[in-house]
Amino acid sequence: MVAYMPGVEVPVSPDPADALASVVALRRLADRIEDAAVEQAMRAGWNWPQVAEALGVTRQAVHKKHAKRLIAAGVALRRR
Amino acid sequence: MSAFGSYLRTVMDLGRDEARQDGSDTVEAQHLLLAITAGPDEVPRQVLAAAGLDHQTVMDALDREFEHSLAAAGASAAAFNLPRASTSLKRPHLGASAKLAVERGFTGQKDPQPADLLLGILRAQAGPVPRALDLAGVDQDDLAQRTLLARASQDR
């Protein structure tokens, strides 16, 4: 198994403890990036269908996951 | 409510705050450990402090573990330069590692004490907490032993 960074090949650690911990950390990082990226996109004027399509999920799913947080943060949300 | 019930409620509330700050939908063992360092009972706090662990050092150790585990897959959080997302308003629910810590700490306890939650957390053999403690140079078994001793002296 190999993870890629630009121009660098890094083999995932052969130690199962490290490999499993990297799964947990990558999921956490992905969640953080999703929260930040969705907020950034909505602040930039994207609408829910566009964000949903970019993430490869349904509009309902992305709305359910992020709408309350963004409304509370004062982000002006575009439906369409 | 008993003194212990009041302690547990406070630590769970603090753990939920830690989870929210962390952007997590679930309260995990690491959030409870952070909560204990800021919690109202001196016994577990002092055991941790004697091992050099307060809120900031636990937070630093967890951050280090996060980067270390990402690096095992060739990734880095620092590589993503996005602004921090707004905090979620959802009430985080108890996650798998926190449930295990509660189960390990309190199962069979007739007279539960605040130190038991810390013991439950320290009985984990895998996950971010043992890895963070290891990276911080803390002997987890020794810390658990010291927690047991502190609990016993509290009983007297």
What is the ipTM score, two decimals?
Answer: 0.87
Closest to A35 measured CA to CA, from A4, B61, A27: A27
- Give the pLDDT confidence score for residue B89 in this predicted structure: 78
Q: How high does pLDDT run on average in chain A?
A: 86
Report, as an integer, the average pLDDT of B102-107: 95
Does A1 have pLDDT greater than 50? no
3-state secondary structure (DSSP) of residue A78: strand
What pLDDT digit, counting tens, does each position of B48-59 carry? Answer: 999 999 999 999
Looking at this protein, which amino acid is placed at residue A75? V
Residue A25: which of B70, B90, B126 has the nearest Cβ? B70
Burial of B106 (0-12, 13-18, 19+ CB in 10 A): middle
Contact list in B for residue A44 (CB cut-off 8 A) is: none
pTM for the model: 0.89
What pLDDT digit, counting tens, does each position of A33-66 carry? Answer: 999 999 999 999 999 999 999 999 999 999 999 9
Burial of B22 (0-12, 13-18, 19+ CB in 10 A): buried
Does A12 have pLDDT greater than 70? no
Would you list the DSSP string of B101-143?
A: HHHHHHTT-SS--HHHHHHHHHT--SSHHHHHHHHTT--HHHH
Q: How high does pLDDT run on average in chain B?
A: 93
Contacts of B36 (CB under 8 A, 6+ apart): B11, B44, B45, B48, B114, B117, B118, B121
Report, as an integer, the average pLDDT of B104-129: 95
Fill in the DSSP letter of residue A47: B
Does B136 have pLDDT greater than 90? yes
Give the chain A residue whose CA is nearest to the CA of B21.
Answer: A32
- Give the pLDDT confidence score for residue A2 in this predicted structure: 44
Does B60 have pLDDT greater than 50? yes
Band of the pLDDT at B86, cuts 50, 70, 90? confident
Closest to B86 measured CA to CA, from A40, A49, A76: A40
Burial of B108 (0-12, 13-18, 19+ CB in 10 A): exposed
Classify each residue of A43-77 as buried b or exposed e, where b means 16 or more C-beta atoms within 10 Å of its C-beta: eeebebebbbeeeeeeeeebbebbeebbeeeebee
Interface check for B82 against chain A (CB to CB < 8 A): the answer is yes
Does B107 have pLDDT greater than 70? yes
- Give the pLDDT confidence score for residue B133 in this predicted structure: 98
Interface check for B26 against chain A (CB to CB < 8 A): the answer is no
Band of the pLDDT at B106, cuts 50, 70, 90? very high
Residue A19: which of B72, B82, B86 has the nearest Cβ? B72
Percentage of residues in chain B with pLDDT exceeding 90?
A: 78
Interface check for B92 against chain A (CB to CB < 8 A): the answer is no
Band of the pLDDT at B84, cuts 50, 70, 90? confident
Band of the pLDDT at B155, cuts 50, 70, 90? low
Does B69 have pLDDT greater than 80? yes
CA distance B110 to chain A (A): 35
Strands B26-27 and A8-11, bridge-based pairing: unpaired
